[in-house]
Chains A and B, each alone.
Chain A
Amino acid sequence: MSEVRKGYVRPLDIKHGQVDMAHGSGGRAMAQLIEELFARHLGNEYLAQGDDGALLPAPGAGRLVMATDSHVVSPLFFPGGDIGCLSVHGTINDVAVMGATPLWLSAGFILEEGFKLADLALIVQSMAKAAKEAGVPIVTGDTKVVERGKGDGVFITTTGVGVVAPGKELSGRNAQPGDAILVSGTLGDHGMAIMAVRESLGFESPIVSDTAALHGLIAAMRDSGAEIHVLRDPTRGGLATTLNEIAQQSGVGMMLQEKALPVKPAVNAACEFLGLDPLYVANEGKLVAICAQQDAEKLLAAMRAHPLGGAAAVIGTVHEDAHHFVQMTTGFGGKRIVDWLSGEQLPRIC
């Protein structure tokens, strides 16, 4: 980043200004945007290096984990969060469910010409807060501007790097017949919060996104000593899609108990109203854990003792199945498949 000499350049008009093409030109306007907005809020010793990349200390032992995630969400601000904190939490969680301690993030912004600087400032502040709370600094970044009409306000891509201690790797390939399946809390909160705002559905009880960084919870789970085989955060496609991915990767089947699935009454009611299934609705602050059966209660207790795992539950078991079906015993006593999400979940006509 180049230094903008004070006094020669008028400061950014955050209150009334808009993103324009010059902010992505690589020139002074861009340097000013970076300095007065990004660096001001996200600043840390690595970002302050001002080079094209961040020079980071190499971790002593273990292996590096790297994950990247692009965030496109409409609306950009929603109950319980915004695209800024979401882009920090999402990537931290992708690194953390690999069993790694997240260390650093990068952030790439694609801004649309005409986007209000005031809204961008709110998003950057939200990112800064989320990164600070998580203890995972944003150490490098990039900004591009696209013409009006060619973006959706803001797209943010974040990449995370973490380190996993020797012998502690987790993978979706490790689920074994007999294992227990747990979730860390209620399902579908984020997806329904977004849908309620996007479609202007005024539900009586407001539904709030669950966006959160899960590495603290995961650390507590690991400290419990339970033999954890798989961790995954069930984001888009919801729990059902995540479990199908794991079943496929591990070559196993799963049997869930519908009665054990934690779902908030407001989310359940909203899903019922729209003809959607909370099993397929997105989460942003929940995880699925698969562990050795004998450790299930120990792991559950550790999850419930953490603020982000208060509603954790054991929801099913892993078994042998050449077809890799995820099935569920319904609260009604029957059986059904919990299939992959096909296409988008669309509300039924009646």
Chain B
Amino acid sequence: MKYIDEFRDGEVARGLAEAIRREANPERRYHFMEFCGGHTHAISRYGVSDLLPDNVKMIHGPGCPVCVLPIGRVDQAIRLALENGVTLCTYGDCLRVPASDSLSLLKAKARGGDIRMVYSSADAVALAQKNPDKQVVFFAIGFETTTPPTAVAIKQAATLGLKNFSVLCCHVLTPSAISSILESPEVRQWGTVPLDGFIGPAHVSTIIGSRPYEFFAEEYRKPVVIAGFEPLDVMQAIRMLIRQVNEGRAEVENEFSRAVDRDGNKKAQQLVAEVFEMRKNFEWRGLNILPYSALRIRSQFAEFDAEKRFPLDYQPVPDHKACECGAILRGVKRPQDCKLFGTVCTPENPIGSCMVSSEGACAAHYTYGRYKDV
């Protein structure tokens, strides 16, 4: 595949691995967090860790939109389908996230809920158009990447004058999650999570640009390298981070210059600003309630806001007692440190959200890397 195979070339990878080995100072250890689930997936799927020297460790971050979705939000979506009789649409991997009462959206579908998988928010609008007698709700989740399409869907529904379309908005913001990690006691006070730098989000940065990360580099003295999701992108970013650490620099560098610039996609940003505004508080799975970390629909589009159209109280729901998703999302623990990993919690029967999406740290390690544990 043009523009893809070039970034999966094994020989180039071996050359890069050699360069990383040469540049990594054997006297010190390097700990880098890949923020995005897409990076976690690429590292596991292509076996990138096998090519890194022992003193370069990757820590999985919270950047999987499915993994940070709290149970209470999935419960809301299920209630809409089962109690309010709406047609609920959402993205594929959201369907398996475990919710209360041993349910998930997939299981709620089996109980008779009209729950549909869609590939885009536009599909949900089209469904509403085709079924004027049904209330169609789009369960919108994701970081900055999936937010502009949701904004487009809401504007489109407004233009069409649809009375049967609304959005349960659970869009969250990347910079808030990075702040939360850097402010966490594990990183700041206790030092139990050593963090020497970040591989910054790829798709998210195509929207917001690289500028928002400059704050982290300056304020927390942590280098950030924005990287694409192909395995060679990831390796190149690791090399750039090692270089920054060796040279005592903490800057934002952009490995993904083929798609990302400093300012991002201004049109998309304006669109998002027009339709959404900040929520004061939003609960994230594993990161608790983070201030100004998520979006809600502005009042002028209130008729498309499922939280206003339907009686939907938010009830926070604690994780399973033994589930370590919270600690894993913050890099405090590894998947194999969780007692439930691979025994009670498997991709067939996920207890925690990190085991659900293929971008989740637990699912990625279970699916691609657990041979290393035996």
Contacts and interface: CB of A to CB of B under 8 A. Distances in A.
Interface string B23-43: 000000000000000100100
Chain B interface size, under 10 / 10 to 19 / 20 to 34 / 35 or more:
35 or more
A259 B13 CA distance: 14
A332 B13 contact: yes
A334 B367 contact: no
B146 A336 contact: no
B93 A349 contact: yes
Contacts of B211: none
Majority SS of interface residues in chain A?
loop
A332 B142 contact: no
B47 A350 contact: no
Interface stretch (B48-56, B70-78, B247-255, B308-316): B48-56
A108 B371 CA distance: 44
Interface residues of A, number: 28
A74 interface: no
Interface in A291-350: 323, 325, 327, 330-337, 339, 342-343, 346-350
B47 A346 contact: no
Majority SS of interface residues in chain B?
helix
A335 B50 contact: yes
B268 interface: no
A325 B106 CA distance: 29
A332 B146 contact: no
A125 interface: no
B371 A335 contact: yes
A349 B1 contact: no
Contact of A349 (B48, B49, B141, B370): B141
A342 B347 contact: yes
A183 B255 CA distance: 38
Contact of A332 (B48, B94, B346, B369): B48
Given A349-B65, A349-B146, A335 B47 contact: yes
A330 B1 contact: no
A269 interface: yes
Contact of B45 (A259, A336, A343): A336
A336 B369 contact: yes
A69 B151 CA distance: 46
B110 interface: no
B93 A347 contact: yes
Residue of B9, B91, B143, B366 contacting most chain A CB atoms (<10 Å): B91
* Interchain residue pairs A-B with the least CB separation, the first 9: A334-B47, A342-B347, A346-B92, A347-B92, A336-B368, A334-B50, A332-B46, A349-B91, A350-B145
